[in-house]
Amino acid sequence: MTDTFTYDALPMRVVFGSGSIERLAAETDRLGLRRVLVLSTPQQRDLADRAVGLIGKSAVGVFDSARMHVPVETVQAAESVASELEIDGCVAVGGGSTIGLAKALALGSDLGIVAVPTTYAGSEMTPIWGITKGDKKTTGRDRKVLPSSVIYDPNLTMTLPVPVSCTSGINAMAHAVEALYAPDGSPVIAAMAEQGIRDLADALPALSAAPNDARARATALQGAWLSGACLGATTMGLHHKLCHVLGGLLDLPHAETHAVMLPYVTAFNLPSARTAAAALARALRTDNAVTGLLALTADLGAPRTLLELGVNESDLTRVADEVVSNPYSNPRSFTREELIELLHNAWKGIH
């Protein structure tokens, strides 16, 4: 039971529901946006064009070159289009990469953002931005980059391939798991985290069996929203730190890395986080949270070892060294040797 806490709510409006993308113009109008740039990846250009049609005359262009990790060159190209078109806002349709680009644009301006997430990554719920220059990703927190309005339309997630849906869903679940033992938790966060995990644990096996199951898609997206809100409101621990370093140093895929690491870091942390362990077990509808997580990732066919992701055993000490180089909030303290052992277990699949 948390008896001392501070809860700082983030000011965001959420419109949720099947077909809710039809309300895009109402949301841009509500923010008073008159010159809107729609952002997407090249793969989601069709969806961007659909958004332009829905927004109508306030949509002045599309920038469809959003890329993973928000390269500075992409931000500069988008900024030059934004300034040429004299935009006052943008609509980001896509996953964390596209929403990340909208945030990078908002960092240096007063643009209003409407986010239309199509994965479960959760970036739309956080004030966290990131921009990559060369091989260095700089991140920060700034309320300026928060979308003012988020439209969650489960229909848009139907095209997300099952393997991506599953790893993206576990990526979302990781936000909620770490929020359960975050130093800045509160009863609100605990409730959102537990429900987010429950939604994802229920929905991911169902949508993996039937990718067009509308109820499963809606439940997964609701879980992603709640888990993303946890990420936005709390300080993440060892799991996120490890995934960040693994991704940065070894160029690993974001969601898959989360899927591999979550059971191992959870097994390491839960002995020092009893309340979190009980909440996680309840949410997974199991007696043992770690066994439950392992069973879920196996059931979903998600990658289960760092070896499967192409990591060399010799890289593990480099990762551990980088993680211990800066102190990080975590319920259980750790030594370099303990981290190497954890990484080795995750590399080889030792539970």
| Phi, psi of 63, rounded to the nearest 5 degrees | -120, 110
Give the separation between CA 271 and CA 13, rounded to whole angstroms.
37
Give the separation between CA 14 and CA 151, rounded to whole angstroms.
6
Nearer to ligand NAD, 112 or 122 (CB): 122
Q: Does 118 bind ligand NAD (CB under 6 A)?
A: yes
The residues in 145-204 that bind ligand NAD, with binding defined as CB under 6 A, are 156-157, 159-160, 168
Q: Tell me, residue by residue from 240 to 259, as one string, x for binding to ligand NAD by CB under 6 A and - for no binding.
A: --------------xx----
Nearer to ligand NAD, 18 or 159 (CB): 159
Q: Of 44, 58, 74, 297, which lies in the binding site for ligand NAD, with binding defined by CB under 6 A?
A: 44
Instruction: For helices 336-348 and 254-269, give the axis angle rounded to 10 degrees.
Output: 120
Nearer to ligand NAD, 39 or 284 (CB): 39
- Listing DSSP states for 306-327 in one string gives TTTTT--GGGHHHHHHHHHTS-
Q: Are 284 and 203 in contact (CB under 8 A)?
A: no
Nearer to ligand NAD, 174 or 281 (CB): 174
Cβ neighbours of residue 138 closer than 8 Å, sequence gap 6 or more: 130, 131, 132
Give the separation between CA 225 and CA 293, rounded to whole angstroms.
20
Nearer to ligand NAD, 130 or 349 (CB): 130
Structure tokens at 317: 């000490």
Q: Of 69, 215, 332, 344, which lies in the binding site for ligand NAD, with binding defined by CB under 6 A?
A: 69
The residues in 133-152 that bind ligand NAD, with binding defined as CB under 6 A, are none
Q: Of 12, 14, 31, 68, which lies in the binding site for ligand NAD, with binding defined by CB under 6 A?
A: 68
Q: Which residues bind ligand NAD (CB under 6 A)?
A: 41, 43-44, 68-69, 94-98, 100, 118-119, 121-123, 126, 128, 130, 156-157, 159-160, 168, 231, 254-255
